[in-house]
Amino acid sequence: MRHVSALPAFFKEHIARREWRWLIKKKSFKIQGGLSRYLYLVPAAVIYITVIIVPSIYTFHTSFFRWNGVNPNKPFVGFQNYEILFTRDPTFRQAITNNFIWVLMTVIITVSVALGFALLINRPFRGRTFFRGSLYFPYVLSGIVVSITWIWVYQPQLGLLTSFTQAIGLGPFPIALLSNPNTALFSVYLASMWQTVGAPMILFLAGLQTIPKDLIEAARIDGAGVFQGFRFITIPMLRETFVIVIATQIINSMKVFDVLRGMTGGGPGTSTQTLAYYMVTQTFTYANYGLGSAIAVIMVLLMMIIVIPYVLHMSKN
């Protein structure tokens, strides 16, 4: 009888031990699950640190030295490279001016053209898939291919532009656009815009397709015209898309290089020099690694000064 009366206490103790073991296993599973989430981030973190963080720190460090990239002796010069760029280097001032002009044209012209194309190909019509692909296709081409194509467009004797003006009876095109310091930068920008406008166009198209059709139809029923619907519905609903498009376009404008290299080589003179082009020239052509690194640091700082406040302001609103 005493043995039977002791069974409930035994079961209670057994159940309590099993519940304790279950709680321990559950806790260890949560810990392992939490650790595994961070372990999945390790490969990406290693790549990011190796490819982005370490080279950035090394570039910043190199900007304080005078070094040709080969000599083991690297004299420390402090901020002398920065002082040379801002006070004694007219080419750098030309490059930074050209970059700001390029950024301004990109934000105003490229973004506007991309939005216009997105509005057009967002409408239902026969063959719109073909036009979407055609407008996006130049973006997948390399900058050198685009350069060769547009050099022949601008070619003074046999180019497409001269052929067109001759066909309509105006004779050869009167200006060698790539050889004129007053027109070279804008001519290269036009070629670059032809290549890159497809990327923001696709982003705007994706944003337009998220706007509820019921909202647009309700606005039309209330008497809103096309312009009013665009101003008070389309633009506000694309606010997040504008943040992404303008931020990426500014960054890409600050890094423009390949089209300039292929079409003008920074000339004539220094009329098409940009920060990225001047950085590559100083680093690899003239072996001024310290000066080139200083230009790279200035580029990053300028992008941060322009992009970060804009993104924070738009995100807050």
One domain for residues 154 and 213:
yes
Q: Which residue has the higher pLDDT, 104 or 219?
A: 104
Q: Do residues 173 and 232 share a domain?
A: yes
CA dist 160 and 156 (Å) reads: 9
Q: What's the predicted TM-score (pTM) here? A: 0.84
- Pair 26, 166 in one domain: no
306 shares a domain with 227: yes
Q: Domain for residue 73, yes or no?
A: no
Helix axes 289-316, 54-62, angle to 10 degrees: 130
- Confidence at residue 309, expressed as pLDDT on a 0 to 100 scale: 86
Structural domain that includes position 53: 2-62
Domain assignment present for residue 70? The answer is no
Residue-wise pLDDT tens digits, 130-147: 888 999 999 999 999 999
Cα–Cα distance list, 22 to 18, 36, 286 (Å): 6, 21, 69
pLDDT at position 157 over 90: no
Q: d(Cα 112, Cα 104) in Å, to the nearest integer? A: 12
- Band (pLDDT 50/70/90 cuts) for residue 11 is very low
pLDDT of residue 140: 93
Is 279 within 8 Å of 291 (Cβ atoms)? no
CB-based burial label for 16 (10 Å; 0-12, 13-18, 19+): exposed
State the pLDDT confidence band at 21, using cuts at 50, 70 and 90.
low
Q: Is the pLDDT of residue 2 over 90?
A: no
Tokens read off for 312: 């924070």
The tally of domains found in the chain comes to 2
The reply to whether 37 and 93 lie within a common domain is: no
